[in-house]
Amino acid sequence: MDKKLQDFIEASLTNPRHPIFNYAFRSPVLQHYALNVKGCGLLESMTAEEWGKGFPHHVKSLTEVMQLCEEDANEQEQSNAEVETLKTKVAELAAKLSTMSQTDPALLQQAPAAKTAEV
């Protein structure tokens, strides 16, 4: 088991901000890890490497969960960047509107002409 996966598992058991923290103790896989692995577990009957070698199917499923969490975090970062870009554009337009309204207050009172679509 690699260090990245071990850190992911241990963070899921100890960090309340971890994406799967609320589900960690409902998962039999993570319950087993929490009970048996040294440094994290209550019984401390094996090391993380021994646990990884003894339960390769658990390692595989947790690796998939880790990858999904990373993908989700990347998508959230991208959407946050898009939101920031939109906020910047809105601020620019608000500044432009403010400038226009100060130079010609009549612009704000004019209603835009209704556009009709021809079918």
- 48-105 pLDDT, tens digit each: 999 999 999 999 999 999 999 999 999 999 999 999 999 999 999 999 888 887 877 6
Element (H, E) at 32: helix 28-36
102 within a domain of the structure (yes/no): no
38: left (phi over 0), alpha (psi -120 to 50) or beta: beta
Say if 54 falls within a structural domain: yes
Positive or negative torsion for Cα 17, 60, 29, 33 = negative
pTM above 0.85, yes or no: no
Question: How far is 70 from 108, CA to CA, in rounded Å?
Answer: 47
Contact call for residues 36 and 43 (beta carbons, < 8 A): yes
Place of tokens 């088991």: 1
Domain that holds residue 35: 3-88
Residue 117 lies in a domain: no
Instruction: Say what the pLDDT of residue 70 is.
Output: 95
Q: What is the CA radius of gyration of the chain?
A: 27
Within a domain: residue 62?
yes
Q: What is the pLDDT of residue 18?
A: 92
Residue 23 covered by a domain? yes
Query: How far apart, in Å, do the first and last CA atoms of the chain sit?
Result: 64
Q: Is residue 112 part of a domain?
A: no
Residue 34 is assigned to a structural domain of this protein:
yes
Q: How many domains is the chain partitioned into structurally?
A: 1
| Within-domain flag for 94 | no
